[in-house]
Structure 1
Amino acid sequence: MALSIKKALTLTVLAATVVTSGFSQASPTSIADVQKGAESMAEALASALPFNSTLGLNWSDAYIGQFIGIPPHFGVGLSAGATSVKSDEMKVLLDKLGVDTQDLPEILPLPAGILEARIGGFILPFDIGLKAGFITGDMGKAIEDTSGGLKLDYILVGGDFRYNLIKGNLLLPRVSLGVGVNYMKGSLGTTLSGGQSFSYNNYNNYYINTSAPELGLSWETTTIDLKAQVSKSLLIFTPYAGLGASYGMSKAGYYVKSEITTTGGSIDDIKNALTQAGITPPDISATEMSSYFDNNGWAFRAFGGLSLNILVLKLDLTGLYNFSDGSYGGTLGVRFQL
């Protein structure tokens, strides 16, 4: 994806988050609190991640027609947008990792920039769509200067199959039912100067010590998506609306990458002490500490919008609402379509 698109999407996140936040080197924080914060964040993102993975392929036409014909029906395009997520549980975990979040807004955007393609069916009235998008870590010097070295990584791939129930005519709209699969993965992190320590105290005082660590949040989801859509062409406009349900198999957590040393005991001693206390221990090696928690869940959404149709060019504006947690989103897309 072009650097300008990656810059625009990354700056959206930076302006809303880390630009207003500082990173501190506080006294050692409890590793038990870090683990609880990671588990809570995974629960909070259980519906937000499947919702975000449904960005893209929300074309105005409920069905684009058959590929075999004159003209053959297909299209390619690009869309960009974001969904919102509440930052409460993220703040808790970021605080424990050493991030000053007092100015972090309550609502954060999860961005996406997506290349899309759709092709009409053969004989039967269906169409198939594919999408892929990414934002990669090193965004150029302008991004690094603005963010203080923040890195944003994001990838989204997916596809859907839609079957046309009502072809539509002068009076009736087009109606389709669809099923799709999406995979989305992302992370947001930075590097701290100095060190950061994590502690666990029972009858021994254990410490996990890092030096200039790279730390951040990370998430991943695979979703099965079901949707129904209705659309109606009106001169150069096509309004559309739909309902969707996504089941996400997700995990979320944190990572701390650094040369890691311990005091008070070995890595195994610390992990055993946490396990005996009923606390899920993080994965710890000589170069990384991380922990991820699985959380599956449904996200139910409404979506709709309007496209402006100029010959073979279509400009789409889509809004989305997540019934599961009250979050929302939107995309703007442009495509060539026959």
Structure 2
Amino acid sequence: VGGLPKTFVYPTITANARIGGFVLPFDIGFSCMYMNFSNLKTVSDGFGIRFFNVGGDVRYALLKGEGAWPQISLGVGYYYIGGKVSFDKDGVSAGIDYATHTMFGQIQVSKTFVFVTPFVGFRGIFSKSNADWSWSVTDARIASAASYIGTETSGKGSANSSFADSFIPQIYGGLGLKISFFAINLSGSYDFKNSIWGGDLSLRFQM
């Protein structure tokens, strides 16, 4: 669709919680995020986006980091991502619905020094995705011209991927800061399969 910017930045809000670690050797985390804008005029009039993400993970402590020993943990998790991107203006519409199921396993090594915790880890990710797209032209003049020259005025299709062919190895690392009841995490990651760098900055309340 012409006129859309190649990139744009839009803030989102995510809720997450984690419980455990008092007397249990494992903890459980949960997170979710939802965004729904039917008409993002900051991008283009008629452009809409819906995004939903929910999931959780369990981490088990192999070593608790006592004395000079580091903290070593194993974790597994599952996340679901779904949404839709659409455009509808001046008799032309297009959209894609997508859904991704992601499972992962990871090992992490960290060590706490007073209130600073550097960490590094390796993560293996498996995902299964499907996407359905469609487009149509309803403007009478455009449809008439398309019919005259033998061009289609609508179409649809789909694409799918399975867990079997989607393994992604990823390394990550960063710093965690614990200040009173607040925890700040700054991390980065690298996707070896797709050569993609990523980053994350989070702030959460922690007891």
Regarding TM over 0.5, the answer is: yes
Q: 1:314 aligns with which of 183, 188, 191?
A: 183
- Which residue matches 1:245? 124
- Whether 2:1 is the aligned partner of 1:104: answer no
1:22 is paired with a residue whose SS is coil
Q: 1:299 aligns with which of 156, 168, 172?
A: 168
Q: Which runs of 5+ in 2 are unaligned?
A: none
CA contact (8 A) 2:3 2:44 kept: no
- Whether 2:47 is the aligned partner of 1:178: answer no
Structure with the larger RCO, 1 or 2 (CA within 8 Å, 6+ apart): 1
- Which residue matches 1:236? 115
Q: CA deviation at 1:113?
A: 4.2
Figure out how many residues of one structure are paired with residues of the other and give that number: 196
CA contact (8 A) 2:93 2:136 kept: yes
CA contact (8 A) 1:121 1:128 kept: no
1:204-215 counterparts in 2 under 5 A?
Answer: 212-215=91-94
What is the one-letter code of the residue matched to 1:294? N
- Which residue matches 2:156? 290
What percentage of aligned pairs have identical amino acids?
A: 31
Q: CA deviation at 1:128?
A: 0.6
- Which residue matches 1:168? 65
1:136 is paired with a residue whose SS is strand
CA contact (8 A) 2:46 2:89 kept: no
Normalized per residue, which structure has more helix?
1
- Whether 2:53 is the aligned partner of 1:156: answer yes
**Matches of 1:300 and 1:163 in 2, distance apart?**
20
What is the one-letter code of the residue matched to 1:118? R
**Matches of 1:325 and 1:146 in 2, distance apart?**
27
When normalised by structure 2's length, the TM-score is 0.80
- Cα deviation, 1:46-72, whole Å, max 9, x if unaligned, reads xxxxxxxxxxxxxxxxxxxxxxxxxxx
- Whether 2:16 is the aligned partner of 1:116: answer yes
Q: CA deviation at 1:114?
A: 2.2
When normalised by structure 1's length, the TM-score is 0.51
**Matches of 1:233 and 1:121 in 2, distance apart?**
15
**Matches of 1:258 and 1:115 in 2, distance apart?**
39
What is the one-letter code of the residue matched to 1:290? K
Q: CA deviation at 1:122?
A: 7.8
CA contact (8 A) 1:164 1:177 kept: yes
Q: CA deviation at 1:235?
A: 2.0
